[in-house]
Each structure stands twice: as structure tokens, then as C-alpha cells.
Amino acid sequence: MAADLLSQLKAMTTVVADTGDLDAIRRFAPTDATTNPSLILQAAQHGERRARLAAIAREANDIDDALDAVAVEIGTEISALVPGYVSTEVSARLSFNTEATLSRAHSLLERYARHGVPAERILIKVASTWEGIRAARTLEREGIRTNLTLLFSFAQAQACADAGVTLISPFVGRILDWHKAQNPDADFSGDRDPGVQSVKQIYDHYKGHGYGTIVMGASFRNIGEVTALAGCDRLTISPGLLEELEQQTGTLERRLSPCDAETQTPEPQSEEEFRWAFNEDAMATEKLSEGIRKFMADQRKLETLLSELRNQ
């Protein structure tokens, strides 16, 4: 009998759970787990957490303090269930502020330390703006590992490699969303999927030039996108798609494989080169801005919830 697709995927790719749902993490036994403001909001709204959220809100100095306390508490619970990394995101409000991102990253790690979770278990998740990438560069030089998210373009990927970040999260599904909106009748199945093509381009470039940055495909719309990237360093997958992979059998073909690195690496991009290349990419420009806005919308919902609980 053929093995299920999830088991086969785990044999060639590190599977990461894209959720704050502890039950889902227990069920699918991923190596790592990622969170973001939207997932933290979902996790925080579980009924059994309400009393604890109220206590956190009342104990906090302000709403920012409460937000970080909630994120770290959920991240700490996740860290007990996975052997690898837990990604915890710096507020999207700081996406264009390097110094504030650095301060918030240090604060998050101090909170984790108080919960007994060492820094080497945490990936500080930062938006792939120029300012976010500069912050990540500094954090990596301090020995703090980072996950650069909301990544939609090759220019962002190259800047992240130049900065020596630990991991990038190129978004597959949101790239597909943009192209489908532009060309609703086009066939984007399989290898025609522009999000899949983007990850493959980045993966081949990294491996071909010896960059150590981990490529972790994210934001999947269907399991076809996942299987088209089998063999990628890591893939972070929602519980719904993990269940689909677990239920389906058949032979899963490895689609990405590392190649021998070339000796010559490209010159690092200047800020001007980065901004020009990024600006030339309408999809990436639009999706990064939209992604930051969406994360902030969910963060504001959590802020409102915490404020209400604080004042009860």
C-alpha cells in the first residue's frame, strides 16, 4: 500500500505547521511551527484562553506589552510540542522602523527566556521591507535567528541572502492570488503557478551560489502547490492542507534538489538597487503593502479584545 503524501513529504522536506492551534500541532507532529498576527488572533479567541487573556491584559503595562505577552505565551506552549523552531512575529506596525524592530525582537527573546525557552529555539519573524532586512542583518550578527516573511520578489530574497538571515518565507498562494486577479482565465496549475515558480527560482539561486539561508515556502492555496515544491528546505502548511496530504496516497516526486554551488556569488544589492528592483515588481509591491495592512488589521482586533478584557 502506498504511503500517504504527508509521510513522503516529511522524508524530503522539513514540514512546518502554519498555525497556533495546539491540537493540530499535536496531531501532525511537525518539526517547526510558525505564527503571525492573524494566527495569534485565532488562537487567542479560543474560549478556554479568555480568562488567561484577561489576566495578561490586566498585568501588562500597556497594549504592546500585552500583545507580546500573548504571543510569547502561545509560542511557549508551541515550543513544548515541536523539536525545532517557533517563529514569533514583530509587530507589523514596525515594518519600516529598523531600530524599533531590533528593540522589539530583544524584548520578545527576553520574555521567552523568562518562560524557559532559549533564544536558539526562536525565529524572530520580520517583514521583508528594506528596514526589516536591515534589522535582521543586525540580529543575525548578534546570534539571533530570523525569519523574513511577506516575501514576494527575487529582490527581497537576494537582499535577505546578502543579510545572512536564517530563513525566508516566500509566499506562494498570495502571488497566485495576484496573477489570477490579473488573468482570471489563465491556467496556473502545477508548474505554471507563479508562486511555485518564484520559490523554485529563489531555491535554485540560493543553492547555486552557496547561500546558507533556508527557503521555506509559505501561504499555500492547495496541495498541488505543496507537492510542486517537494524537496524544498522547509514548507509551512496550514492544518487543513496537512490533513489533505495525510489523506491522499500515491507517489510523491521530489521536485527541488540542491545543486553544487558556483564559486562566484553576486555583489550585494545597494539600497537603491533593492528599492528600484522591488518597485519594478508591481505584484510584490502591492502584496507586501497588502500583507502588512492585513496583519495590522488582525493585530488591531486583538488589541481591541485585550483592551476590553483589561477594562472588565
Which are the catalytic amino acids?
125
The neighbouring-strand residues paired with 126 are: 148
Residue 150 to residue 170: CA distance in whole angstroms: 7
In terms of C-beta density within 10 A (0-12 exposed, 13-18 middle, 19 or more buried), how is residue 25 classed? Answer: buried
Q: Decide the pairing of beta strands 146-151 and 214-217.
A: unpaired
* Helix residue ranges, H only, the chain: 5-10, 22-28, 37-44, 50-59, 63-79, 98-114, 130-141, 154-163, 173-182, 194-209, 223-227, 239-247, 271-279, 282-310
In angstroms, the Cα distances linking 171 to 70, 140, 219, 264, 307 are 25, 22, 5, 28, 32
- Which positions ≥6 away from 54 have C-beta within 8 Å? 309, 310, 312
The secondary structure of residue 121, as a DSSP letter, is G
Instruction: Give the CA dihedral 103, 109, 111, 115, nearest 10 degrees.
Output: 180
- Which positions ≥6 away from 305 have C-beta within 8 Å? 44, 45, 53
Q: Decide the pairing of beta strands 32-34 and 14-18.
A: parallel
Instruction: Using alpha carbons, select from 193, 195, 190, 234 the residue that is nearest to residue 216.
Output: 234
Pull the grid cell for residue 213.
539561508
In terms of C-beta density within 10 A (0-12 exposed, 13-18 middle, 19 or more buried), how is residue 266 classed? Answer: exposed
Contact (CB, 8 A) for 123 and 166: yes
